[in-house]
A and B are shown apart, each in its own frame.
Chain A
């Protein structure tokens, strides 16, 4: 069953601005992952945050996790045109052998 639900569905910003995407999920998790998908390409793993972590950073990326609200956010600071892509959150299924993806946020960064 689908776990993650991202919002907004689409986001358009200018270079230099910050982009925030949110993800909500339904059941308990071990970890939550964020992936990026450039147009016509495969998904690329960005960051994994474990259920006992509240915040994690990787370069210009900042991910938060609130297990009480079953939500996560991905913040991209000082965005660049190259950040234009779709961003997906994913949680691990009960079997532990599949990722359940949300519908994604389509981010457009204009120069």
Chain B
């Protein structure tokens, strides 16, 4: 069974559209994350949730809105997509804080045209 699964794997959409990426973890972890990886492979934290509560919002435009309906899910909704949003988005989870290892999903490659 996949520990951290995110869908879709690929997403191609036009500028101005609204899209969502879903993430689920079956590890029983308390903390979930969204990271963005740019074309140079640089990974940057976007959001961190602990027990459904937002812990970190790293200067992400408010067009990005995470939603955590329960501890096992952290979805990412993006409004009014822009070209610069094209990247690979990774969901991850860890038992509590990341003083232990984090488990990553396979990534969602978002291409805005």
Partners in one complex: yes
Contact (Cβ within 8 A) A97 B107: no
Which of B43, B50, B99 is A92 in contact with, Cβ under 8 Å?
B99
**Cα–Cα distance between A93 and B33 once the two chains are bound (Å):** 13
Q: List 22 A-B contacts (CB under 8 A).
A: A2-B42, A40-B107, A41-B107, A42-B90, A42-B92, A43-B92, A43-B102, A43-B104, A48-B100, A88-B43, A92-B97, A93-B45, A93-B56, A97-B56, A97-B97, A98-B45, A98-B58, A101-B35, A101-B43, A103-B41, A103-B42, A104-B42
Residue of B nearest to A104 (CB): B41
Chain B: interface size category: 20 to 34
Which residues on the B side are within 8 Å of A96 (C-beta)?
Answer: 97-99
Which residues on the B side are within 8 Å of A35 (C-beta)?
Answer: 104
Which residues on the A side are within 8 Å of B107 (C-beta)?
Answer: 40-42
| Seed contacts A42-B106, A101-B42, A103-B42; 4 additional CB < 8 Å A-B pairs | A2-B42, A30-B99, A42-B105, A99-B45
| Chain A residues with a Cβ under 8 A of chain B | 2, 30-31, 33, 35, 37, 40-45, 48, 86, 88, 92-93, 95-101, 103-104, 106
Residue of B nearest to A30 (CB): B99
Contact (Cβ within 8 A) B102 A99: yes
- At the interface, is chain A mostly helix, strand, loop or mixed? strand
| Chain B residues with a Cβ under 8 A of chain A | 4, 31, 33, 35, 40-45, 48, 50, 55-56, 58, 90, 92, 97-107
Which residues on the A side are within 8 Å of B92 (C-beta)?
Answer: 42-43
Min C-beta distance of A10 to chain B, whole Å: 11
